Amino acid sequence: MRSSRLRAGLALTGVLALCACGPGPAPAPSPQAGPSTAALSPSPAGPSTAVPSPSPAGPSGTPASPSPPVSVSVPAREVPRGTGSTLTDDVNGDGYADAVIVSERRERNRFLTVLYGSAGGLDPERRTVVEAGDGVLWTSGGSWRARRPDTADLDGDGFADIPVLLRTEGDWPALRILWGGPLGPAEDGLSPVVPVPDAERVTSDWPAAGDFDGDGHADLALGIPDLSASGSDGGGYVLLHGPFGREGAPRDTYVGQSPRTWWVVADRMAPGRRNMLVVHDGDDGEQTGAVILPRVPPAARTYRLGPGNAIATGDFDGDGTVDVAVGDDGGRNDEPGYETLGETGAVTVHYGRAPETPVVMRVPRIRGKLTAGDVDGDGRDDLVLQSGDRVEVRTHGLSTTRTLGELPCPPGKLPQFPVAVRAGDYDRDGRAEVLLNCWSYIFGPDPQRWWMWRADGPGVRFDTTGF
Ligand SMILES: [Ca+2]
Ligand SMILES: [Ca+2]
Ligand SMILES: [Ca+2]
Ligand SMILES: [Ca+2]
């Protein structure tokens, strides 16, 4: 649950007021709680159980003591050698999009895996596994955003890079960049800490990648958590403008105000297009709202979104403008009436042509996050969502529902269910494949089971044993 992270931030800054949580323990899980409530029990090895003690911040807000260098171990196999491309998710630059996933293992820290695309699609044998020594990929006990890191070519060398939040012993989580290259990430491919204004507060969630100023260089955005219940302490977002240097420094930095913000989402990058930013409110487990900033810094009208902790962007009607889908991820808080408090049971779509008149799709027992991609290649993005125990995809302008079929999770001590993590056209046939895994509320499962689902053929199942 996000509140554990906010509490960490509060302890860090000495601000003691906190929304509607009360003085009691962290909210208990609700039966239909979704993935956003991941930290219901802190993970045994997760950073939420070991909040680093604060280190004094300098006047600029950057940490007073730089984090130590972290070397990464990079077992890699069958990686196709690339020469560079313009795709924002092509880590080895061979012209095929690659999928970055984060997995957990009981006896190891979380690790990041790049699965490489090819004409034959993703093959779990063709991969790079990245482990950061004693560093821990920060998830704040299960933050969903850490499970599908954004990628972008941040230094402009033709290889997509992976911004990561990494915590090392005794340090607050810090933003670093895992550089792509001809054979994917390399042993020396982790940048020093990226300088971020007010770093201890800002680096509490994973960054969103986009070209926010439209100069053709990829930028990063991070949320500045608003620490007050009233949304009045000046939360907002930070833009780190690219290109980034190999030492991790952005070209320049911009801080924007947007009260109540905790985290941010950008739309998918496309050549010649500025990205927008969705700044999402904090929550105490319940569903909260967000604001669409069509331009950042705001130079145009902004749009308030209704409650929903699952956000996906795409062109769902195929008119060339970006649409935003907002879903109820199933999370509830522990206030009286929590079973239905903030419940929407719906996905609301704000179309780019008329964002102020959204369209509501009722989805019974909706939970989990939303994933967008054009799975049938008709030029319109489709929406993968979870309705009860079923994973469904809405196609044809979101008018048609199709189930993804049987996705059995192995038995375990905790209930597991299949969730879509990300989608992309990894074989360049014009149709997106969907990556799903088995998910439980706390650490694990170990090993993790994954599927690659495609609309037009058999999928592939694999688990992370041996990764
Ligand atoms: Ca590639
Ligand atoms: Ca790069
Ligand atoms: Ca830019
Ligand atoms: Ca489609």
Query: Is residue 283 a contact partner of residue 312, using CB atoms and an 8 Å limit?
Result: no
Mean pLDDT value across residues 128-137: 90
What distance in angstroms lies between residue 117's CA and the mean position of ligand 1's atoms? 5
Instruction: List CB-based neighbours of ion ligand 2 within 5 Å.
Output: 153, 155, 157, 159, 161, 180
Q: Residue 375: nearest ligand to its CA?
A: 4
- Distance of CA 392 from the midpoint of ligand 1 (Å): 27
- Rounded to 5 degrees, φ, ψ at 451 are -130, 150
Q: Do the Cβ atoms of 350 and 361 come closer than 8 Å?
A: no
Whether 195 and 248 have beta carbons less than 8 Å apart is answered as yes
Q: Looking at residue 76, what is its pLDDT?
A: 94
Task: In whole angstroms, give the CA distance from residue 87 to residue 220.
Answer: 16
Range in 8-12, 74-78, 105-109, 254-258 the model is least confident about: 8-12
- pTM summary value: 0.85
Of all residues in the chain, what percent carry a pLDDT higher than 70?
A: 82
Tokens of 129: 């596994």
| Residue 179 per-residue DSSP state | -
- For residue 355, what are the CA distances in angstroms to 6, 147, 306, 321, 359? 30, 28, 12, 11, 9
Kindly report the backbone phi and psi dihedral angles of residue 261, in degrees, each rounded to the nearest multiple of 5, phi listed first.
-65, 140
Q: Over range 298-320, report the average pLDDT.
A: 93
Task: Output DSSP code: residue 177.
Answer: E
Given a cut of 70, is residue 243 above it in pLDDT? yes
> Tell me, what DSSP letter sits at residue 5?
H
Q: What is the mean pLDDT of residues 278-300?
A: 90
- 3-state DSSP helix/strand/coil % of the chain, to nearest 5: 5, 35, 60
The per-residue DSSP string of 16-76 comes to ---TTT-SSSSPPPPTT--GGGGGGS--TTSGGGSPPPP--B-TTSSBSSPPPP---B--E
Which chain residues have CB less than 5 Å from ligand 4, an ion?
Answer: 374, 376, 378, 380, 382
Residues 6+ apart with CB under 8 A from 414: 440, 441, 442, 444, 445
- Between the CA of 53 and the centroid of ligand 3 the distance, in Å, is 34
- The answer to whether 224 and 236 are in contact (CB under 8 A) is yes
Ion ligand 1 neighbours (CB, 5 A) are 90, 92, 94, 96, 98
Closest ligand relative to 92 C-alpha = 1
What pLDDT score does 81 carry?
98
Please indicate whether residue 225 or residue 134 has the higher confidence score (pLDDT): 225
pLDDT single digits (tens) 351-387: 999 999 999 999 989 988 999 999 999 999 999 999 9
Residue whose C-alpha is closest to residue 321's, from 239, 241, 369, 380? 380
Centre of ligand 1 to C-alpha 55, Å, is: 39
Closest ligand, as measured to the CA of 183: 1
Residue with more model confidence, 97 or 410: 97
Q: Which ranges in 168-321 belong to alpha helices (H)?
A: 199-202
pLDDT tens, position by position, 401-419 = 999 999 999 887 788 889 9
- Mean pLDDT of all residues in 92-104: 95
Give the Å distance between the CA of 160 and the centre of ligand 2.
5
> pLDDT (tens digit, 9 = 90+) per residue, 444-458?
667 789 999 999 988
**77-92 pLDDT per residue, tens:** 999 999 999 999 999 9
Question: How far apart are the CA of 152 and the centre of ligand 1, in A?
Answer: 12
* Nearest ligand by distance to the CA of 218: 3
Q: Contact, 199 vs 65, CB < 8 A?
A: no
Residue 131 is classified by DSSP as B
Which ligand sits nearest to residue 152's alpha carbon? 2
Closest ligand to C-alpha of residue 100 is: 1
Average pLDDT, the chain: 83
List pLDDT tens digits, range 34-91: 333 222 222 222 222 222 333 333 333 444 445 556 888 999 999 999 999 999 999 9
Between 144 and 40, residue with greater pLDDT:
144
Residues 2, 282: contact at Cβ < 8 Å? yes
Which of the two residues, 369 and 27, has the higher pLDDT score?
Answer: 369
Tokens describing residue 264 = 């941010």
Q: Which ligand is nearest to the CA of 91?
A: 1
pLDDT surpassing 60 at residue 330:
yes
- 459 alpha carbon – ligand 4 mean position (Å): 18
Evaluate if residue 15 carries a pLDDT over 70. no
Closest ligand to 455 CA?
4
330 and 366 Cβ atoms separated by less than 8 Å: yes
Give the pLDDT of residue 445. Answer: 67
> What is the per-residue pLDDT for 462?
94
Expressed in angstroms and rounded, the spacing between residue 162 Cα and the centre of ligand 4 is 27
Phi, psi of 311 (to 5 degrees): -125, 135
Measure 380 CA to ligand 1 centroid, in angstroms. 23
In this prediction, what percent of the chain has a pLDDT beyond 90?
Answer: 61
| Amino acid making up residue 67 | S
210 alpha carbon, closest ligand: 3
Edge to edge, the sheet with strand 323-327 lists 310-314, 323-327, 346-350, 359-362
Which pair of tokens denotes residue 394? Answer: 């809405």
Q: Which residues pair with 400 in a beta bridge?
A: 395
- pLDDT tens figures, 167-225: 987 788 999 999 999 999 999 999 999 999 988 888 888 999 999 999 999 999 999 99
Alpha-carbon gap, residue 356 to 272, rounded angstroms: 25
Q: What is the pLDDT of residue 36?
A: 32
pLDDT surpassing 60 at residue 8:
no
